């Protein structure tokens, strides 16, 4: 099987195909636009998006080059990162650059190791029980509900409690509405955006200041960790502003992305009764009716495959963009300094060379044998390289708890004739939600 990038030859060396139109398509459905570009032009194509040259790369070799091998010569100075995300997250891990990014990452990395995160498993299970009780009320009334919205509420409760303990309980609804508004508007200059961000800032700064006044003797949540952490070189702690920026990054990345993954997961499973039946068989053997614990995670192998396949088809972070700091060459193509380079997990995860029948939902793609045989960078739901998402283990832990607990209690069906439409904003959402009905088991 030929796994080399397509579209490269002596004839077009250093001059990739150029798509001159597409502004309307790029705005309306950018993820599908990118997918069509790769189908029409191959693994490298230049397109019109900004005043600078913009290139879409769609091969694992190119992903490795941009995000790993030559990652040091690409930064996040792009429209998405600087104009949209940084307006909310400031100089947090999500958008900051070196040397601040490396300093913060080194300080925070130990607290996102799976051994540290295991302490939050019971909290995640408790929050899941609360959401399932709400779904139980819908089931009793035979009322449809928006599963995407329920997953947003659940993951917000989880990330809020792991960040702030229960200090934010009274603010959770306001935080959820604010985060949702910021992502939906995605235009920092708009008055409503600025007003919403101000509300969120007031809540977060208030909690930080109150926590500093009554610090815990031990680290009970991630906010304690941020406040108590000290830089190795100076022994100093983070400023309130830096803590605020990291909190905002964790709020946005820690609840929005996982909620979208779970929403799409339920959408897919509602169309896959055989897969659901196989999950139920595994749950019966491993859990026998009880909620999952950390010790169960390695045994829930089929659940793990299902979650990975959902993230393949619907990666929440559907696009990754970088700016070239110097001239570079990728796969024989010249990339001028200042160019925008884009990699789309949504498109990459549908590359037919690495994913036969790419639109088909098939968890068996993630057997140990299949994973070992596949190119390491053909699957990047959390990014790759030094800037791979720090919260990947947190997100996977949430999913491996929420999936079993939900299927233990309910059979879920899609509401007929409800339009499910992919909506690529900062993250990949369902434009009109995912309406479902639930029946108790």
CATH code for the domain in which residue 397 is found: 1.10.630.10
The Cα 17–Cα 274 span in angstroms is 43
Determine the Cα–Cα distance for residues 433 and 429; give it in Å rounded to an integer: 8
Q: What is the mean pLDDT of each run of 10 residues along the chain (441 residues)?
A: 57 67 70 93 88 92 98 92 86 94 93 88 95 97 97 92 79 82 81 91 90 71 89 91 94 88 98 98 97 96 98 96 96 93 97 98 98 97 96 95 98 96 92 96 88
pTM of the model: 0.93
pLDDT computed for residue 7 by the predictor: 52
13 part of a folded domain: no
Does some domain include residue 131? yes
Q: By three-state DSSP, how is residue 229 classified?
A: coil
Q: In what order do the strands lie in the sheet with 44-47?
A: 18-19, 44-47, 54-57, 340-343, 320-324, 74-75
- Measured CA to CA, the distance from residue 122 to residue 394 in angstroms comes to 13
Say if 7 falls within a structural domain: no
Q: Are 309 and 20 in contact (CB under 8 A)?
A: no
Q: Please indicate, yes or no, if residue 1 is contained in any of the structural domains.
A: no
Residue at 12 is within a domain:
no
Strand blocks (E) in 48-131: 54-57, 74-75
- Beta strands, E only, 2-97: 18-19, 44-47, 54-57, 74-75
Give pLDDT, residue 23: 58
Q: How far apart are CA 110 and CA 225, in angstroms?
A: 10
Total domains in the chain come to: 1
* CA separation for the pair 367, 306 (Å, rounded): 11
- Is 111 inside a domain boundary? yes
Neighbours of 123 (CB within 10 A): 17
The domain in which residue 367 lies consists of 18-440
Residue 9 lies inside a defined structural domain of this protein: no
| 67 found inside a domain | yes
């Amino acid at each position: 099987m030929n796994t080399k990038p397509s579209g490269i030859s002596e004839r077009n060396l250093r001059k990739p195909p150029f798509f001159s139109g597409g502004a309307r398509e790029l705005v309306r459905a950018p993820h599908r636009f990118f997918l069509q570009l790769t189908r029409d032009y191959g693994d490298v194509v230049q397109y019109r998006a900004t005043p600078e040259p913009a290139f879409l790369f769609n091969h694992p070799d190119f992903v490795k080059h941009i995000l790993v091998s030559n990652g040091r010569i690409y930064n996040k100075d792009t429209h998405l990162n600087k104009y949209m995300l940084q307006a909310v997250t400031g100089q947090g891990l999500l958008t900051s650059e070196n040397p601040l990014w490396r300093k913060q990452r080194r300080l925070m990395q130990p607290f996102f190791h799976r051994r540290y995160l295991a302490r939050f498993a019971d909290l995640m299970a408790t929050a899941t029980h609360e959401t399932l009780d709400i779904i139980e009320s819908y089931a009793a009334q035979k009322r449809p509900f928006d599963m995407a919205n329920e997953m947003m509420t659940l993951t917000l409760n989880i990330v809020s409690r792991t960040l702030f303990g229960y200090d934010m309980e009274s603010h959770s609804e306001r935080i959820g509405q604010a985060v949702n508004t910021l992502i939906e508007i995605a235009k920092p200059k708009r008055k409503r955006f600025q007003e919403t961000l101000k509300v969120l800032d007031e809540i977060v700064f208030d909690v930080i200041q109150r926590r500093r006044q009554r610090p815990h003797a031990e680290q009970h949540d991630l906010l304690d960790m941020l406040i108590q952490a000290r830089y190795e070189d100076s022994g100093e702690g983070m400023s309130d502003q830096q803590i605020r920026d990291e909190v905002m990054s964790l709020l946005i990345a820690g609840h929005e992305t996982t909620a979208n993954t779970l929403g799409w997961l339920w959408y897919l499973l509602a169309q896959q009764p055989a897969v659901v039946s196989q999950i139920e068989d595994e749950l019966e053997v491993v859990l026998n009716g009880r909620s999952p614990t950390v010790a169960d995670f390695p045994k829930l192998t089929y659940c793990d495959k299902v979650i990975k396949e959902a993230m393949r088809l619907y990666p929440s972070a559907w696009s990754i963009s970088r700016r070239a700091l110097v001239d570079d060459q990728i796969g024989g193509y010249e990339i001028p300094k200042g160019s925008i380079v884009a990699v789309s997990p949504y498109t990459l995860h549908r590359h037919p060379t690495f994913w036969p029948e790419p639109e088909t939902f098939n968890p068996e793609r993630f057997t140990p044998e299949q994973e070992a045989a596949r190119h390491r960078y053909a699957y990047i739901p959390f990014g790759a390289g030094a800037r791979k998402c720090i919260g990947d283990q947190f997100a996977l832990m949430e999913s491996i708890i929420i999936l079993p607990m939900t299927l233990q209690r309910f059979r879920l069906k899609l509401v007929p004739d409800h339009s499910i439409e992919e909506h690529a904003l900062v993250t990949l959402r369902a434009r009109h939600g995912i309406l479902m009905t639930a029946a108790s088991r």
